[in-house]
A = this chain, B = another copy of it.
């Protein structure tokens, strides 16, 4: 999950130095500093690049902006003709600031802190592009996929191509691990989750592994529900990120033998703090900690999270690890 954010006063001060959120992400000086802030404050084992999954639609030539408190707004792509007008011709030019951020970040980080690059999965990025932003029912993107699967596949294929370039360039700039966010896996129809979700991600991971065979890939299919096991078995990911709704016993029984697990502390438990936080964290360590585990949250840090609760959590996990 994004480690930096509004819950940190130093982040809020830094954020005030850029007008738009996209500009903030695309200014290496600011994005490097945002990526480093949580590492300095909490001494975490891994640093995640500060960026956004919507740099890809921006790089494909679409207007993208973020309204405060409203979420992202993307110039919508509603049919095959509109998808056909998208192009990767300016991709390298528009994504270069992200790759430069990765390179500067790699140089700035202590060698023992792993640098994690990331991108959105094709389906998830497509939902923003087709809906024009966030959505409650995903009716536009699902509707297009039902009505015109051939045309929709063109958009998905373009996203696989662009995202593979983006991830590979992050590795070349110094990222040691990659994470793919399928944040809207839960919006995939049960009969279409392979076609629009798992298969494009598998192609993306294969493209990354072909270029960089050793790089570990974390996949976070948030809300995958009953299909979590299929994502783990068929995507080619090395690590599967669990959302907060996945019971630990189920994960231990069904997934733990198949891949490394990451997650899944409820960010609301991190807001609650105290004994509730300790109990929630200890349960994860008890039930998943006998196998390799990337301890993490099951969703992003909430803005009103007290940073002392993060200190407490980090100390607890460090004590457990010994």
Q: Which residues of A contact B (CB under 8 A)?
A: 137-139, 142-143, 146-147, 186-191, 193, 223-228, 242, 244-248, 250, 254, 264, 266-269, 271-272, 274, 276, 280, 283, 298-299, 302, 304
Contact = CB atoms under 8 A, between A and B. Distances in A.
25 contacts: A137-B268, A137-B299, A139-B267, A142-B268, A143-B268, A146-B266, A146-B269, A146-B272, A146-B276, A186-B186, A186-B225, A189-B244, A189-B266, A189-B268, A190-B244, A190-B245, A190-B248, A190-B264, A223-B223, A223-B225, A223-B245, A225-B225, A225-B226, A226-B228, A227-B245
Contacts of A250: 190, 226-227
Q: Which 7 residue pairs spanning A and B have beta carbons closest together? A: A225-B225, A146-B272, A146-B276, A190-B247, A142-B268, A190-B246, A147-B272
Contacts of A276: 146-147
B146 A268 contact: yes
Main secondary structure of the interface of A (DSSP, over half): helix
Contacts of A268: 137-139, 142-143, 146, 189
A144 to B, nearest CB: 9
B191 A280 contact: yes
A245 B302 contact: no
Contacts of A245: 186-190, 193, 223, 225-227
